[in-house]
Amino acid sequence: MHLKLLPGIGGPADLKALTIPQLEELAKEIRHAICDQISRSGGHLAPNLGVVELTIALHYVFDFGSDRLLFDVGHQCYPHKLLTGRQPLLPKLRQRGGMAGFPDPRESDYDLFMVGHAGTGISTAVGMARGDLLHGEGCSHENPDGRRVVTLIGDASIVNGVAMEGLNNAGTLKRQFLVVLNDNGMSIAKPQGAVAAYFDRVRLSHSYGEFKKAARDFAKRIPGGHVLADAYHRLGEMSKAVISEDAWFEKFGLVTVGPIDGHDIPTLIDFLNEARHFDRPMVLHVKTVKGKGYGFAEGDCCTFHSPSPFDVVAGDGADDSKLVSEGCRVELRKGGRSFTSAVGDAMVDLMHRDPKVVACTAAMPDGTGISKVLAAHPDRSWDTGICESHAADMMAGLAKTGWKPFFAVYSTFLQRAFDQCFQEASLQGLPLRLLLDRAGVVGGDGAVHHGFCDVSILRVLPGACVMAAMDEPSLQAAIEFMAEFDRGLSALRYPRDKVSDRFLDQPCPPFVLGKARPLVRHERPDLAVLGYGVMAVEAAEAVEKLDGEYRVEVWDARFAKPVDAGLVQSLLEREIPILTVEDHSLVGGFGAAVLEACSELGLDSRLVTRLGLPDHWIHQGERHEQLVEAGLDAASIARTIRERLDRRPVVEVTPPQPAGAVHR
């Protein structure tokens, strides 16, 4: 497709100069630009295709140079970025120096928060709405020209517990406040739970005409109803026509309008124009199609939620000059076997052999490999939706009733369930088992998704067992260990990466609590590297780069809690320097655990050098680039080993005496 309009959009002011037919043509060009780029680099495809018209309409009606626009969840921001001056960054989407895959205030003042976790948009919007009121700048009945606040919430993020808390407070605002609910019937996967079922009923059972009912009677029946009754009189006629008589949001004190067609630009503009002048909290319920405009994304929006790069293969009679045309098929480019896929297979096998094992995930069945479990063992596995806190508590309840629960969750989302890991699992002595995907640096998703603090937050829990896998055999062995570990909480971390085959020729011994595994041994090593998880493999490659320059042992540490104190003691008592390597923060991580062991054993910790993630944010790029930045790639580890050994103290050795000489 030849782009005619999009290259001329340098900012929202240019957008406002277009006619409605031109806006509709612009929507097609935005879709093409996004799909074309994601086919090359990967990224969030289906969520962004679904909000193109909605984003255009929002920027057409509001002035977000002054008004506030907050995203929830952040991965639906690509059209917004293309309309706010960032088209030159698109060719390097999710790469160094290119467009971040989430809102990023470093890129533009149009992005207010760096957003990667669900449920936060309403609460941060409420905070900004209150802040503007305190400054005398907020749009209200008394100040109709003040700053407006809009939060765009989608992909089932509304069912998140934090969103509920935000709604509960939003209803108390006495000013303009607009929540745009992008209801596409999907999360990352099919949304789960009663709230999701409610929206399904709304989409299926209500035509727009059925909403032409007076709101006054229902408004009188709920707390604060007189406010809503008055608000009804301030609504424009179009909004009155589709005001919902029994909308769920009304119970929170927000007037609710819709659902309306989220792909009809004229209708969106009309409704948003009315909402812009409404001086009370409102929800505009917008119905969209995830993956809109491309049949392959609409038909399989789970796979194309955030696909890897893909190829479009033209069929017979298809025009292969187009990105996607009738008769084409789309093929995802394959890398190697991933840790995620290995976890799915290992769990399916374990659950086949052990009928007491159960599993769940929180809206990430594909991203954690649990989709395989859901298909193979639907009676003992669940997708709870975007609610990590609930999922952890639910699994604690299953543990209490004698089951063996495994909760598969991204490391970056574990923080949201920490309180439950503490209170309902660890404090009770219950064996909650955590499978932590995306541990360490994650590549294109950048800082919002790095798993850099799971070790530090879990190590504080008494009796917890914290592990890492370096390859597929060690991952399988760790899961087998976890299935039988019933003394408390256990966790296994692994990266968003391919599994290594470097040590497949060696037998993988079973996991034994608090014991490391030797990978490269020497009778009298110059230094020993304790690699945590995949860093053990990286360390082995680093030693290979040294080409025999030094005698360096490599150990797969396996456990950050409990660390192999016996190994640490044996090495340091022989004055063998230790290098710890981890793709985790140095603060509270594996290396910190080794230093703590030294202190407890009275050992000289000056012989310990730590490598880990630095104390600054690492942004989007290739995972290998991020490891290089952190000094955790094989070349950097080899350089650190040389530096460490070249500055070691010189030990004087008495030369051998000639035969018969007397040494005094």
Length reported for the chain: 664
Q: Provide the residue type at 271 as one letter.
A: F
Using CA atoms, how far residue 551 sits from 532, 636, 651, in Å, is: 20, 18, 17
Task: Name beta bridge partners: 370.
Answer: none
Query: What integer best gives the mean pLDDT of the chain?
Result: 86
| Amino acid 652: pLDDT | 37
ω into residue 126 within 30 of 0, thus cis? no
Same domain, 479 and 579: no
290 is catalytic: yes
Q: Is 233 helix (H, G, I), strand (E, B) or coil?
A: helix
The answer to whether position 350 is within a domain reads yes
pLDDT for 115: 87
DSSP state of 485: -
Catalytic residue among 404, 416, 493, 561: 416
Q: What is the identity of the amino acid at 163?
A: A
Domain total of the chain = 3
Model confidence at 66, in pLDDT bands (50, 70, 90)?
A: very high
More confident residue, 468 or 212: 468
At 235, which CATH number?
3.40.50.970
pLDDT(521) > 60: yes
The token pair that represents 418 in the structure block: 């920490």
Tokens representing residue 420 in the block: 């439950």
Q: Are residues 482 and 563 in the same domain?
A: no
Contacts of 607 (CB under 8 A, 6+ apart): 572, 575, 576, 577, 578
Residue 57 lies in a domain: yes
Residue 659's CB is within 10 A of a number of other CB atoms, namely 5
193 pLDDT higher than 80? no
401-413: average pLDDT: 96
Looking at 290, 372, 380, 459, which residue is catalytic? Answer: 290
Residue 231, pLDDT > 60, answer: no
Residues 550 and 611 in one domain: yes
What is the dihedral sign for C-alpha 599, 601, 606, 610? negative
Q: Could you tell me if 87 and 176 lie in one domain?
A: yes
Verify that 443 and 352 share a domain, yes or no. Answer: yes
CA nearest to 614, candidates 596, 595, 597, 632:
632
**Per-position DSSP letters for 528-542, written without gaps between them:** EEEE-TTHHHHHHHH
Q: 334 near 309, Cβ under 8 Å?
A: no
Which tokens sit at 664?
A: 């005094």
Contact 532, 582 (CB under 8 A): yes
Residue 482 has pLDDT above 50, yes or no: yes
DSSP annotation of 6 reads: G
Q: Calculate mean pLDDT across residues 5-24.
A: 95
Residue 313 is predicted with a pLDDT of 66
660 domain residue, yes or no: no
pLDDT value at position 437? 96
Residue 217 lies in a domain: yes
Annotated catalytic residue: which of 388, 472, 553, 629?
A: 388
Q: Are residues 406 and 533 located together in one domain of the fold?
A: no
Residue 316 domain-assigned (yes or no): no
Considering the domain architecture, whether residues 422 and 537 belong to the same structural domain is answered as no
Does residue 156 belong to any structural domain of this protein? yes
Nearest to 125 by CA among 206, 83, 185, 64: 64
Per-residue model confidence (pLDDT) at position 663:
29
Is residue 388 flagged as an active site residue? yes
Rounded to an integer, what distance in angstroms lies between the CA atom of residue 210 and that of residue 242? 8
Amino acid at 42: G
Do 468 and 534 belong to one domain?
no
Does residue 239 contact residue 283 with C-beta atoms inside 8 Å? no
Active site residue 472: no
Q: State the Cα–Cα distance between residues 120 and 186, nearest whole angstrom.
A: 18
In angstroms, rounded to a whole number, what is the distance separating the alpha carbons of residues 66 and 138?
11
Q: Are residues 484 and 532 in the same domain?
A: no
For 168-184, how does the pLDDT look when each residue is reduced to its tens digit (9 = 90+)?
A: 999 999 999 999 999 88
| Separation CA 200–CA 328 (nearest Å) | 32
Residue 550: both structure tokens together: 């030094």
Query: Are residues 555 and 425 part of one domain?
Result: no
62 or 235: which carries more pLDDT confidence?
62
**CATH code where residue 641 lies:** 3.40.50.920
In a domain, 483, yes or no: yes
Q: Which amino acid is at 342?
A: A
CB 253 within 8 A of CB 228: yes
Token pair recorded at residue 320:
């292969």
CB atoms within 10 A of CB 232: 18
Domain of residue 550, residue span? 517-646
Same domain, yes or no: 546 and 455: no
CB 551 within 8 A of CB 576: no
Confidence class for position 442, pLDDT limits 50, 70, 90: very high
**487 & 538 share domain:** no
pLDDT in tens, 616-647: 999 998 999 999 999 999 999 999 999 999 87
Q: Is the pLDDT of residue 147 over 60?
A: yes
Q: Most confidently modeled of 59-63, 238-242, 621-625, 649-653?
A: 59-63
Confidence of residue 246 (pLDDT cuts 50, 70, 90): low
Give me the mean pLDDT over the 213-237 stretch. Answer: 48
**Has residue 533 been placed in a domain?**
yes
